[in-house]
Structure 1
Amino acid sequence: MEVVYGKKLFGYTMLKREKIAPSKTLASSKSPEGKLENAIAARKVIEQHRKVLIALRDR
């Protein structure tokens, strides 16, 4: 089924997804500092988008 962006499908408007670029580069995940920075960034994302992540998991 071909999706036509901007049209309604089951009451929802389909929008084309855009690739999200990170706002800053993180340190290498191999170094201890990089692991800590990645863990802090992941925790912030989870806190901010917790409800959405739970809804996606429950699908």
Structure 2
Amino acid sequence: MSQLVVEWDRLNHEIEEMTALVGKKDAEMALLKAQLAKAQTEGPGTEEVKELRVKNAALLS
């Protein structure tokens, strides 16, 4: 019986560690998603990049 209690304690501790790890990963994913959204809204759009490339090509020729 005591062996079962020890095993239960070990498994319970392992679950707590995994729960904390999942929480950290969730927070990290939320941060990365926010950074991605910010980069997508603040960075130049596809059309702007094309226009800049055309202007650069014109300057080089």
TM-score range, shorter chain: 0.3 to 0.5
Q: Taking CA–CA contacts closer than 8 Å with sequence separation of 6 or more, which of the two structures ends up with the larger relative contact order?
A: 1
More strand by share: 1
TM-score by length of 1: 0.36
Larger radius of gyration between Structure 1 and Structure 2: 2
More helix by share: 2
